[in-house]
Chains A and B, each alone.
Chain A
């Protein structure tokens, strides 16, 4: 089946530093990737949709200068949390939609746990 990886799986950083999270589709090409944020015991909140080669589309209330998304290739999207603060601590999950095949399904990565001290 389609596999999506995320790196790192867990990161702890000091307040004010920037953190980059990678999302890769390992065995398929993804024209569209999605970034979600999940708070404890909460649902997934869609942050942004990224299409390869174009600017990401951010959901209302998500700061694009804070959460920088780059979809550099058909297999890689990165989320950079700029100048992270403790309130940015969360579980970040990416998903990818295959370039071919059914458009109604997404494949999720295992998530990245971010803790900002």
Chain B
């Protein structure tokens, strides 16, 4: 299987919370990232978490890490139509070059 797995689609109503899930296989992953890609654009780093952390919150974004289950999630509170995009989960290792390995991305669709 792939190193980083995500569900491909998520549809939510405007104002609701969105939760995007990701699983990874490498237990030695040091950093875990969430990137956002809008149509036809590059990737924007939203947030990242060091592997010794369980949670990180940044305004509407909450990242939860379950290292035992190798599960990462991104919660977007009060989801807006502008949040519609593809969200990529990625992992990287410290012993080397920190080059992230990306998942295939979750397409988030926010409808009124």
Contact = CB atoms under 8 A, between A and B. Distances in A.
Chains A and B belong together in one complex: yes
Interface of A: 4, 6, 32, 34, 41-44, 46, 49, 93, 95, 97, 103-111, 113
13 contacts: A4-B42, A6-B42, A43-B4, A43-B104, A49-B97, A49-B99, A93-B42, A103-B98, A104-B92, A105-B48, A106-B100, A108-B35, A108-B45
A108 B43 contact: yes
Interface string B56-97: 000000000000000000000000000000001000101001
Contacts of A93: 42-43
A104 B42 contact: no
Given A34-B99, A108-B35, 15 more contacts: A4-B42, A32-B97, A42-B104, A43-B88, A43-B102, A43-B104, A44-B102, A93-B43, A95-B43, A104-B30, A104-B94, A106-B98, A108-B43, A109-B42, A113-B40
B40 A111 contact: yes
Contacts, number: 50
A49 B100 CA distance: 12
Contacts of A95: 42-43
B108 to A, nearest CB: 14
A6 B42 CA distance: 10
B28 interface: no
B41 A110 contact: yes
B44 interface: yes
